[in-house]
Amino acid sequence: MAREAEIVADAREGRAVIGWKLDRGQRTELLKAFPPKFAAAVADHVTLKAKVADDTPLPRALPARIVARADDGRGVEAMVVEIDGSSARPGGGTYHVTWSLGEGRRANESNDVLASRPWRRLDAPVALALRPARFE
């Protein structure tokens, strides 16, 4: 994962976000397998680094899997993701997919939920089809 850590360390500040997008077909299947707890299903991407310049290199395509689930019971649900065998995001935080949100809640609140409460490990990890991407 050294390249991803280098990308994070070298990134200049900007408005883009880099990471990995979920495969749209797999997203549909995952939402059936793990029904969202809150009204707005998100299940869109895994962030490597936010607020980077538009020319920041994309990460590599790496093995990924969902390993745990967490929610605050008040409107934020997230799936913990391992990328290349680790859930620790370079620069701090936990790799995750914001799964669902309640009214008035924001996706970036998933970071706080994951840092403040225990996760519920899945009985069996679920492989994810992710593609490197840039998004806002």
Confidence of residue 109 (pLDDT cuts 50, 70, 90): very high
Which pair of tokens denotes residue 28? 């549909």
User: Please, what sign has the CA dihedral across residues 38, 39, 43, 46?
Assistant: negative
Residue predicted with more confidence, 97 or 136: 97
CA distance 119 to 25: 26
Q: Report the percentage of the chain scoring pLDDT > 90.
A: 88
- Across all residues in the chain, what is the average pLDDT? 95
For the segment 23-42, the average pLDDT, to the nearest whole number, is 97
